[in-house]
A and B are shown apart, each in its own frame.
Chain A
Amino acid sequence: DAKTTQPNSMESNEEEPVHLPCNHSTISGTDYIHWYRQLPSQGPEYVIHGLTSNVNNRMASLAIAEDRKSSTLILHRATLRDAAVYYCILRTRLVAGGTSYGKLTFGQGTILTVHP
């Protein structure tokens, strides 16, 4: 599986933007970049994903480098509820029983602390 590298932890102040980096130098052409976050004692929550172009949704923005070897998750205004572990994952296409599915291999993620 293609691997990602993230900082172990980051800190931010409430209402400030947060840029969470991710390196994925071994990414292949068909791998999508996915971001999930996990609050304590809960299952991971999907945040955003992209292939080559930058992406925006109601939760965050994803900026993807031109060579696709790195990406940055941007939270435009951090809130206390954004404190979580953020996972950057490469989604690889696999086929089983004639059906495509995308395996997600989670790394250690980045612990984001948001200060009031």
Chain B
Amino acid sequence: SQTIHQWPATLVQPVGSPLSLECTVEGTSNPNLYWYRQAAGRGLQLLFYSVGIGQISSEVPQNLSASRPQDRQFILSSKKLLLSDSGFYLCAWSVHRAYNSPLHFGNGTRLTVT
């Protein structure tokens, strides 16, 4: 069966510090991968998606970047965190080449920038 792992679960970082959040998927090959952020309120905002190694698309201009160094690894980074980067970050995967396959989310990382 497929599983998705995100770490860390919680993180407190000072403004201006770097960030690296990691997500890995097991049990499937060449998944589509996504990074979402959930700020105040309930809505989730799509930040990045990837349909293959080295293929990253950004949905919104921001202080963050994403990379996919391996097939099932997706990394969210920042060189210098802003207060506005605080939020709940979620990684998700879906079956490759199946646009209608459900998204499967990790348990998320709660980031607080102080």
Q: Does chain A bind chain B? A: yes
Residue positions of A touching B, CB distance < 8 A: 32, 34, 36, 38, 41-46, 49, 85, 91, 93-94, 96-97, 99-109, 111
Give complex CA distance A12, B66 in Å: 41
B51 touches A46 (CB 8 A): no
- Would you give the shortest CB distance from B38 to chain A, in whole angstroms? 8
- Would you give the shortest CB distance from B13 to chain A, in whole angstroms? 19
- Would you give the shortest CB distance from B1 to chain A, in whole angstroms? 14
Tier of interface size on chain B: 20 to 34
* Mask: chain B, 57-89; 1 = CB below 8 Å from A; 0 = not: 100000000000000000000000000000010
Give complex CA distance A96, B45 in Å: 19
A97 touches B49 (CB 8 A): no
Which chain B residues border A49 with CB–CB below 8 Å? Answer: 100, 102
Give complex CA distance A47, B90 in Å: 18
- Would you give the shortest CB distance from B32 to chain A, in whole angstroms? 5
Give complex CA distance A102, B97 in Å: 9
Task: Taking A32-B100, A43-B90, A106-B43 as given, write out 7 further A-B residue pairs in contact, using a Cβ cutoff of 8 Å, ordered by the A residue number.
Answer: A43-B107, A94-B99, A96-B55, A103-B49, A104-B103, A105-B46, A108-B41
Which chain B residues border A91 with CB–CB below 8 Å? Answer: 99-100
Determine the residue in chain A with the shortest Cβ distance to B100: A32
Contact of A43 among B41, B43, B99, B106 (CB under 8 A): B106
B102 touches A34 (CB 8 A): yes
Give complex CA distance A111, B42 in Å: 9
B46 touches A103 (CB 8 A): yes
Give complex CA distance A96, B56 in Å: 10
Determine the residue in chain B with the shortest Cβ distance to A85: B42
B55 touches A106 (CB 8 A): no
Give complex CA distance A97, B55 in Å: 8
- Would you give the shortest CB distance from B110 to chain A, in whole angstroms? 7
Closest 5 CB pairs of A and B: A43-B105, A46-B102, A102-B99, A100-B99, A106-B44
Which chain A residues border B94 with CB–CB below 8 Å? Answer: 101-102
With A97-B51, A99-B52 as contacts: A46 and B43 at CB distance below 8 Å: no
